[in-house]
Amino acid sequence: MALPVTTRAAPAMPFAPQPRTAGGGLLRRPSPPAAALRIAPPLFWPWQKVKVGPLSVSPMGFGTWAWGNQLLWGYQESMDTELLECFNLALKNGINLFDTADSYGTGKLNGQSERLLGKFIREYEGPMKSPDDVIIATKFAAYPWRLTSGQFVSACKSSLERLQLDRLGIGQLHWSTANYAPLQERALWDGLVEMYEKGLVRAVGVSNYGPKQLLKIHSHLSSRGVPLSSAQVQFSLLSMGDEQMELKTVCDSLGIRLIAYSPLGLGMLTGKYTTSNLPSGPRSVLFRQILPGLESLLTCLKRIAERKGKTMSQVAINWCICKGTIPIPGVKTVRHVEDNLGALGWRLSPAEVSELEAAAMESPKRMVQNIFQTA
């Protein structure tokens, strides 16, 4: 389903006569300043892309949870114009991974995130050989009425319709039902197998799986000849507990790429908020509980950011990259995209990574883990 891309060759031009002085000599044009000859390097080179199964993706992706979510993120359809600008700016800077879910969007806007991504891919005016150039990773909710593998495959087809795509980059199980409906779990796993075998997805992954359950699904998929390519989990300086680090170790041993969602702790690591300046909506409750204990970590983030000439957000995201994950910070404004792009093209030193982790360990509060994450 290649997008129509038209190019027009420039007409051949004869050699223009060279300007000359009154005496007939060639007129020497002033040389452009050295700064004009310098071309800014890309944020990352093609060989620095990251492998996720058969896919090559940018070292950082963007999350689209806010695209359609009115309750937590205050989405309004009037924001769509700026969201399109976010998408275009990301692609122009080499970002090709966008994470979404069939449950993103509140009420009648359910699935809005997928619809917007599909629309934006179609409207993109930059160079794109195929929609496959954009890696869409969507997650399928383990709703209680999705009891068979066929129903899970139908969910994948519905996502493809909203996205206006023939196949997905990564099809992901949004959460495990092992803790409350273990019999449903096997049907969902088989659904991932079927969508992979039918060519509806190029790779499969999971989200909110702990290390033990990850080993189980990896074994099951392997027995069916399907590689498990990714595991998405909350991972940041606020979510670096023993279980998260064990999960990272398991992923590394099995060749599974860890995708880090909420790398900025829902905004707590940006330096934007304080106990007297809380975000609106439900996040304020969580921030009021956790922020008072983050002084050491936020001070360390600020110190390193100033030393590097970066923002606190860029340092926090770069830490995730240094840990070998693909962070997917959420974006809903052009300013968010511009700031997050500044996390690429450089690396924290090993000493700075250790300094941040030591400060994080001193913090008495941690990010509340997703209730759906299994052991």
Domain assignment present for residue 110? The answer is yes
242-254 and 211-223 helices cross at what angle (nearest 10)?
20
Domain assignment present for residue 73? The answer is yes
Helix, strand, coil percent values for the chain (each to nearest 5): 45, 15, 45
Cα separation, 95 vs 44, in Å, equals 10
Q: List the pLDDT tens digit at each of the 375 positions of the chain.
A: 444 434 334 443 333 444 444 544 444 445 445 444 455 678 998 889 999 999 999 999 999 999 999 888 889 999 999 999 999 999 999 999 999 999 999 888 999 999 999 999 999 988 877 778 999 999 999 999 999 999 999 999 999 999 999 999 999 999 999 999 999 999 999 999 999 999 999 999 999 999 999 999 999 999 999 999 999 999 999 998 888 999 999 999 999 999 999 999 999 999 999 888 888 888 888 889 889 889 999 999 999 999 999 999 999 999 999 999 999 999 999 999 999 999 999 999 999 999 999 999 988 767 666 666 777
Domains: count for the chain: 1
**Amino acid identity for residue 47 in this structure:** W
Domain assignment present for residue 135? The answer is yes
Is pTM beyond 0.85? Reply is yes
Bridge partners (DSSP) listed for residue 62: 98
pLDDT of residue 128: 79
CATH code of residue 83: 3.20.20.100
Domain assignment present for residue 36? The answer is no
Report which of 326, 375, 361, 318 is spatially closest to residue 342, judged by C-alpha positions. Answer: 318
Domain assignment present for residue 26? The answer is no
Is 143 labeled as catalytic in the residue annotation?
A: no
Cα separation, 339 vs 311, in Å, equals 8
Using DSSP's 3-state secondary structure scheme, residue 328 falls into coil
Cα separation, 343 vs 318, in Å, equals 5
Non-local (6+) Cβ contacts of 191 within 8 A are 140, 146, 148, 149, 150, 151, 152, 153, 155, 156, 173
Domain assignment present for residue 194? The answer is yes
Cα separation, 226 vs 222, in Å, equals 5
- Specify the length of the chain in residues: 375
pLDDT of residue 11: 40
Cα separation, 52 vs 230, in Å, equals 7
pLDDT of residue 17: 46
Domain assignment present for residue 261? The answer is yes
pLDDT of residue 371: 65
pLDDT of residue 204: 98
Given the residues 104, 124, 209, 273, the one annotated as active site: 104
pLDDT of residue 35: 42
pLDDT of residue 24: 47
**Which structural domain, as residue segments, surrounds residue 248?**
50-265+323-347
Domain assignment present for residue 18? The answer is no
